[in-house]
Structure 1
């Protein structure tokens, strides 16, 4: 029997090592503690969160940029570069289905979060602000 595909919101956290998920949660907790004692900085943090790129946007931008470069190299330097866009497209398809592709573990270790994680921090910080 086949395993069902994870839901959209769960894809990345499900395919991320639990230690990395825990580290990201800890960092959010530490920031919440900081803003609870520094409420005058909350508006700046909310503005930062509005500009933060989630993992989906980061993957899409990096993949499309790399595809464009490889297509240009394939057209002008060597046709073998055209294999790159095919591989990248396969990785993006894998990510769409499973929430995992080779760049995901690297990006998660670098602290790139899902939109759900960003939104959770935003809601918690707004709750802190509203309780002040």
Structure 2
């Protein structure tokens, strides 16, 4: 997914994540734990794509049944996008979700792992300048 996202957008998402992670270098454990709970509830781009597709298909079928059969086109286009995503790992709605700040599961998990490392869940990581970058690298995100 990152390969199909414009580099400036990927950089923006990475910079935002890095800034969030850097805040937790000296944060109280409770604050880190609250943020980790938020990350657990965050919908990744795949989940948003699935929910959006299901909603659009249901709306298309409902409108076709009550208004005009032409609405079946909507219910037909959406699965084509899902198939494209399954085959290529990308489809047009993904670009829109990414532009709105949606992240992949891997990006969310990397932030979670980095925050856990900074919180002290993993031994051997020193909290000095650049610790957030090293935590992301350890999580395989950079």
- String of CA shifts for 1:43-99, please: whole Å, max 9, x gaps: 110000000000110000011011101101001110000011111110111111112
State which of 90, 93, 105 in structure 2 corresponds to 1:103: 93
Q: Distance in 1 between matches of 2:86 and 2:45?
A: 12
Q: Which has the higher helix share?
A: 1
- Structure 2, gaps ≥5 residues long: 128-142
Which residue is equivalent to 1:4? none
TM-score by length of 1: 0.87
How far did 1:14 drift? 1.3
Q: Distance in 2 between matches of 1:105 and 1:65?
A: 18
Q: Is the 8 A contact 1:15 1:98 kept in 2?
A: no
Residue 21 (1) aligns with residue 5 (2):
no
Q: Distance in 2 between matches of 1:24 and 1:110?
A: 10
Q: Distance in 1 between matches of 2:28 and 2:99?
A: 28
Q: Tell me which of the two structures has the higher relative contact order, counting C-alpha pairs closer than 8 angstroms and 6 or more residues apart.
A: 1
Residue 78 (1) aligns with residue 68 (2):
yes
TM-score by length of 2: 0.81
Which residue is equivalent to 2:45? 55
How many residues of Structure 1 are paired with residues of Structure 2 in the alignment?
121
Q: Distance in 2 between matches of 1:14 and 1:95?
A: 13
State which of 35, 57, 72 in structure 2 corresponds to 1:67: 57
How far did 1:39 drift? 3.0
Q: Distance in 2 between matches of 1:82 and 1:56?
A: 24
